[in-house]
């Protein structure tokens, strides 16, 4: 077997370290608005949970998985946004 010599890609450690820098994961537009974005994501997540519950009670179990999965994603990102907003408030 021949190994590929692709030197155009950065090493994995450089990718991990750039990802691990806290502030670089949040877009510059969103950083000052983290509390508002978290509130919107909590609201959308709650709406999706209610929609999924209504779909489940209507007998649409397979389709109810879509809004419930979206709710889980929105609520988890909202928790991360609110935690980042709290840590940013402590630094300021």
pLDDT tens for 53-67 read: 999 999 888 899 999
For the chain, what is the mean pLDDT? 77
% the chain with pLDDT above 90: 37
CA dist 43 and 18 (Å) reads 31
Helices (H) and strands (E) in the chain, counts: 3, 0
């Amino acid at each position: 077997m021949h190994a590929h010599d692709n030197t155009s890609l950065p090493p994995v450690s450089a990718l991990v370290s750039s990802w691990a820098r806290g502030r670089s994961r949040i877009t510059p537009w969103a950083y000052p608005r983290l509390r508002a974005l978290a509130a919107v994501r909590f609201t959308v997540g709650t709406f999706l949970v209610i929609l999924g519950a209504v779909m489940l009670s209507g007998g649409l179990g397979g389709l109810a998985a879509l809004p419930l999965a979206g709710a889980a994603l929105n609520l988890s990102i909202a928790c991360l946004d609110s935690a980042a907003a709290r840590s940013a408030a402590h630094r300021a």
